[in-house]
Amino acid sequence: MTVDMPTIEDAKTAISTANEVVEQAIATAKALGASAHDQQVFLYDLSHAAAGVSMCATALSYAERGDDEAHLAHVFIGRVLRDLAATLWTAHSTWGVSPSALASCQNYAVAATADDFVARAATLTAPSHLPDDLELVADTFRRFADDKIAPQAEAIHREDLDIPTDIIDGVAELGCFGLSIPEEHGGSAQGTEDDYLAMIIATEELSRASLGAGGSLITRPEILARALESGGTEAQKAHWLPKIASGETLCAVAATEPDFGSDVANMKVSATPSDDGYVLNGTKTWCTFAGRADALMVLARTEADPSLGHKGLSILIVEKPSDDGHTFRHEADGGVLEGQAIPTLGYRGMHSFEVSFTDWFVPADNLIGGDAGRGRGFYLQMAGFENGRIQTAARSVGVMQRAFELARDYASERSVFGESLDSYQLTQVKLGTMAAIIAISRQYNYEVARAMGMTGDATGSVGVSGGSPDNKAAMAKAFVCKAAEWVTRESLQIHGGYGYAEEYEISRLFVDARVLSIFEGADETLCLKLIARRLLA
């Protein structure tokens, strides 16, 4: 069968049609009223579809920059259309659309997903189109990651070691912890759209070398810094932000609890008012980097009335000594603070801790926002998490990029049945699909980061043109993190049995990628409680 080459005009028409399908599904969900939130499968699929269609608009802009860019964009758009059509095949009535709603896109999708067309994408370059100063940022962090992190990454993973001090010090010297902190508070942010973009670029390059020992170092400081910028007093900003920016204060976030996970309204860790401060009691879990951290950002219940739910939560900064290893225990003023690292499948080096507070005193000055911050902890936490989500999407791109490089290189060197592995069509199609996903995910992250840099958040409306950045940090995380699982899985598969051996780097990337859809908002919670709610609002 002869297949026409996909064109940008056909892509525009296809994306417009796909957007109409998503908008009709949103209208259908809205018409259900409160009962819409019982339709969890519908809303989950709709959230991912909305993310994919939003990314297609970014792909379209990228396509207009050159032939290679257009090729990669078509492959990505074709894949999104194929997945959306598969969903509608059985769910069109639930979505409130015609079973033939995407029929006008079929010829374009056939061309954009044709095997030979997708296969060629693996051989193309994917220009970033960054300005020279940001290309310099990428190059600087790439060289640091290659020289300092990559040589130590495997040992850190296999032996579950602490992140070496030379890596942390090096990241601090590069100014990484202050990329989005304003200049007046010791950071490098100048209030332009590039402020968040530099952070995203650095995160991706560090994650390419190691998710646990590189790219994730920036996330926790960014979450705390964002909460301080959003709701801290001027004295708190002046005290904490310069220390965070310089790396003098290493940070961890203590939000999740063993029995409630993301169910913030029912969190139990209490911060009882006392003379000149608060007394913490309870247990937090999945507190990543809590051992090495000097400051824990703790979401705790300061208001005794349980009916307040999430409105009874506040954020306290708990200071502690920096501890090496997998356990720590401190006693002060009759209180105890202790932590135990949780053994994990991947994402090693950072160490995720269960942290217990027993009558642990925190000065009143360490309540973010002071008295005005009481009851605002949930909202300040969410402000920080928006930043963490787009960072996690950038971390995913770094992991995917490295997985693609390993798969491409291994396929060119490996001979199977007398032919190089990369001469087989199936391998070529896998590599081409990886290349397209990575290129468009990167561009989408850039777009969201620029919007966040200009507006300070990621709120607005979804539209074919990309529109204002509604929900985009969350949608980037939902789509890109899930894609990272597929890319690393297929890269490992290309490696065959060697991919399953720990001596090959891809095995680390595979297990690291699995956590991306869990932390900074588990995928299901992110889609149902955040993305879908915003779409229906």
Residue 340 lies in a domain: yes
Q: Find the mean pLDDT for residues 57-63.
A: 96
The amino acid sitting at 264 is V
- Tell me the residue range of the domain where 333 lies: 251-378
**Which residue, 94, 113, 132, sits at the end of a domain?**
113
* 8 A C-beta contact, residue 231 and residue 380: yes
Distance, CA of 234 to CA of 229 (rounded, Å): 9
Residues 344-356 have pLDDT tens digits of: 999 999 899 999 9
Q: Which two tokens stand for residue 335?
A: 């209180």
Of the listed ranges 62-66, 194-198, 359-363, 461-465, the least confidently predicted one is 461-465
Looking at residue 214, the DSSP 8-state letter turns out to be T
* Cα–chain center distance at 529: 17
Distance, CA of 106 to CA of 516 (rounded, Å): 33
pLDDT at 267: 85
* Cα–chain center distance at 181: 19
Residue 197 lies in a domain: no
Q: What is the pTM of this model?
A: 0.93
Residue 260 lies in a domain: yes
pLDDT at 193: 78
pLDDT at 231: 93
The amino acid sitting at 455 is T
Catalytic residue among 20, 503, 520, 524: 520
What 3-state class would DSSP assign to 359?
strand
pLDDT at 190: 83
Residue 438 lies in a domain: no
Residues 63-93 have pLDDT tens digits of: 999 999 999 999 999 999 999 999 999 999 9
Q: Inform me whether the pLDDT recorded for 460 exceeds 50.
A: no
Q: Which two tokens stand for residue 263?
A: 């169910």
Residue 84 lies in a domain: yes
Q: Inform me whether the pLDDT recorded for 387 exceeds 90.
A: no
Residues 113-142 have pLDDT tens digits of: 999 999 999 999 999 999 999 999 999 999
Residue 92 lies in a domain: yes
Residues 147-157 have pLDDT tens digits of: 999 999 999 99
> How many CA atoms lie less than 13 Å away from 153 in the CB half-sphere?
31
Q: Which two tokens stand for residue 514?
A: 């699995």
Residues 256-296 have pLDDT tens digits of: 998 776 666 778 899 999 989 999 999 999 999 999 999 99
Looking at residue 146, the DSSP 8-state letter turns out to be I
What 3-state class would DSSP assign to 282?
strand
Q: How confident is the model at residue 3 (pLDDT cuts 50, 70, 90)?
A: low
Distance, CA of 445 to CA of 193 (rounded, Å): 13
Q: Inform me whether the pLDDT recorded for 458 exceeds 80.
A: no
**Which residue, 350, 378, 406, sits at the end of a domain?**
378
The number of residues making up the chain comes to 537
Q: Quote the crossing angle between the two packed helices 472-495 and 425-455, to the nearest 10°.
A: 160
Distance, CA of 4 to CA of 108 (rounded, Å): 8
Q: How many CB atoms lie within 10 A of CB 101?
A: 20
Residue 55 lies in a domain: yes
**Strand 352-363 relative to strand 295-301, pairing:** unpaired
* Cα–chain center distance at 513: 11
Distance, CA of 257 to CA of 153 (rounded, Å): 30
520 given a catalytic annotation: yes
Q: Inform me whether the pLDDT recorded for 477 exceeds 60.
A: yes
The domain that holds 341 is classified in CATH as: 2.40.110.10
Cite the DSSP H helix spans in 349-471.
377-413, 425-455
> Is residue 9 packed enough to be buried (19+ CB in 10 Å), middle (13-18) or exposed (0-12)?
exposed
Residues 406-421 have pLDDT tens digits of: 999 999 999 889 899 9
pLDDT at 463: 39
- Over its C-alpha atoms, the chain yields an Rg (Å, rounded) of 23
Q: Per the structure, how many domains does the chain have? A: 2
% of the chain residues with pLDDT over 70: 96
**Strand 251-254 relative to strand 295-301, pairing:** parallel
What 3-state class would DSSP assign to 279?
strand
Q: Nearest 5°: phi and psi at 297? A: -90, 100
Looking at residue 248, the DSSP 8-state letter turns out to be S
**Which residue, 340, 359, 378, sits at the end of a domain?**
378
Give the list of residues 6+ apart from residue 215 with CB closer than 8 angstroms, or none: 203, 204, 205, 206, 207, 208, 391, 394, 395, 398
Residue 231 lies in a domain: no
